[in-house]
A and B are shown apart, each in its own frame.
Chain A
């Protein structure tokens, strides 16, 4: 199957993700896919949560932390600034405490806790995935293309999500038990029924958010996850390993795209040994890819002679990826 057929065959797959090792072309393919779909009249948002995001570079526009920026007709890009988001969130919590208890200042030990929280492991991942839920639940776009942070993060988060879930289950049960006590006490003291348990409501909210964020990555109806790889033995082995891990977390793997394939025709010319060796290495690797992934390989993209930057080059790439002339 070719990449273009995929989009025709699965029109409901609206959340697209490119995964792979760093520097293999995830951002490039995200941009090219966004370009292609936008040209086809779909409203597309391509977004990144990487602190070293490169959407700004590829579109040659400074969009970091600026919300959804229109790049061209139907194509919007967004780079989430996780740090600023965490700070804003901490400030929100401070304000809430101040207004809830009419305090002038946050008590020191509480302030310390809030401050220390930003240094905790998992804080950033959680904030990032929470941001993604915010972006996606709005539902203003036909397609969401998620320029994923490197694989490790995504896997870490997915495994965390299942632990969070079990954890929430337990504390919700405890909270319910506490509620029973509240009720019993109220009856014994002949008081009106107890007020709403705000904490319980918060727990429910958290549960929903975590559920939503891991669902975005694991929804078999709406999500398509593509792996990017290059014809090099090490990358192939790594990708295969990663694919197995992702499959374990039920991420709907939809196919593989090979990047940086050097034109084999060059062998006929009088080329330097260096290039000749590289091409021969790639021939072997491509055979290996074929053996390992077979028909799941949706597209093979040649090595470009210039950096992929700016809409004109993105268009050239999209034309190759989707095997179609775009005006």
Chain B
């Protein structure tokens, strides 16, 4: 089943796939980029309100924020850098 799916995908990469990629690049790519940026802003906001005490902003229950910690480990470094770099914290929120 999996292989068949893969093949089907590859087939689409013919002329039709090219047109599809082309229109994506022309029309949607910018939107997708913007959405991704928004999404990562939100991710950072999320970490701020759950793990704020890492930056010295005690927010809420450490017992339960520990549960969330494993899921945000990869983002912590970029988050810290970004939070501490922004001139105005509010700018970075939305």
List the interface of chain A (C-beta within 8 A of B): 89-90, 93, 96-97, 100-101, 107, 109-110, 113-114, 116-117, 120, 122-123, 126-127, 130, 160, 163-164, 167, 170-171, 174-175, 177-178, 181-182, 184-185, 188-190, 198-199, 202-203, 205-206, 209-210
Contacts and interface: CB of A to CB of B under 8 A. Distances in A.
24 contacts: A93-B67, A97-B73, A100-B73, A109-B76, A109-B77, A110-B73, A114-B66, A114-B69, A117-B66, A120-B53, A126-B62, A126-B63, A164-B61, A167-B59, A171-B46, A177-B42, A181-B39, A181-B42, A188-B31, A189-B32, A199-B71, A202-B68, A203-B68, A206-B67
Interface in B32-50: 32, 35-36, 38-39, 42-43, 45-46, 49-50
Contacts of B31: 188
B1 to A, nearest CB: 14
Given A120-B53, A185-B32, A96 B42 contact: no
Contact of A184 (B35, B58, B59, B67): B35
A109 B36 CA distance: 26
A107 B72 CA distance: 13
Contacts of B38: 181
A184 B42 CA distance: 15
A205 B67 contact: yes
B61 to A, nearest CB: 5
Contacts of B72: 199
Given A109-B80, A177-B42, A120 B71 contact: no
Leading 3 A-B pairs by shortest Cβ distance: A126-B63, A120-B62, A117-B62
A187 to B, nearest CB: 9
Given A167-B60, A188-B32, A199 B68 contact: yes
Given A110-B73, A178-B42, A178-B46, 13 more contacts: A90-B66, A93-B69, A96-B70, A107-B76, A117-B63, A117-B66, A123-B62, A126-B62, A130-B63, A178-B43, A190-B24, A206-B64, A209-B64
Interface in B59-94: 59-74, 76-77, 80
A185 B40 CA distance: 12
B42 A113 contact: no
B60 A163 contact: yes
The main secondary structure of chain B at its interface with chain A is helix
B60 to A, nearest CB: 5
A170 B51 CA distance: 15
A189 B24 CA distance: 8
A96 to B, nearest CB: 5
A86 to B, nearest CB: 8
Contact of A174 (B42, B58, B60): B42
A246 B2 CA distance: 60
A100 B74 CA distance: 11
Interface string B8-33: 00000000000010001000100110
Given A93-B69, A185-B36, A174 B63 contact: no
A185 B73 contact: no
A107 B74 CA distance: 10
A182 B39 contact: yes
Nearest to A164: B61
A176 B28 CA distance: 23
A202 B46 contact: no
Contacts of B35: 181, 184-185, 188
A107 B67 contact: no
A209 B51 CA distance: 19
A41 to B, nearest CB: 38
A87 to B, nearest CB: 12
